[in-house]
Amino acid sequence: MYVEIIGIIVLFVALRALITRNRAERLLYLNVIGFGVSALIALIINTPFALVVAAAFFICSTISANAIAYTLNRLDDEIVLE
């Protein structure tokens, strides 16, 4: 049940990431996809090694989330010439 719900959310967010033109929104959608994939890894594969893989993927997703937050902060300071 949880796998299907998370899978539907990840697919919906992936479609939103493809459709949107805003770079900041796209980065946030990619962040959600990363966390969703780590949850799916942990739920689908029922072995102790799957927990290690899911934890490693979660840590990498957290690092990428920090990189996304840093990038979004830099976008606020960006000067746009029109």
pLDDT digits (tens, 9 = 90+) for 54-71: 888 888 888 887 887 787
- Per DSSP, 77 falls in state T
Domain assignment of residue 58, given as a range? 2-76
Task: Determine, yes or no, domain membership for 81.
Answer: no
Write down the pTM of the prediction. Answer: 0.71
Query: Is 79 exposed, middle or buried (CB count within 10 Å of its CB: 0-12, 13-18, 19+)?
Result: exposed
Task: Determine, yes or no, domain membership for 33.
Answer: yes
Task: Determine, yes or no, domain membership for 82.
Answer: no
What is the spatial distance between Cα 34 and Cα 52, in angstroms, rounded to a whole number?
16
* pLDDT greater than 70 at residue 18: yes
pLDDT band at 26 (very low <50, low <70, confident <90, very high): confident
What is the spatial distance between Cα 48 and Cα 42, in angstroms, rounded to a whole number?
9
What whole-number percentage of the chain has pLDDT above 90? 20
Q: Domain total for the chain?
A: 1
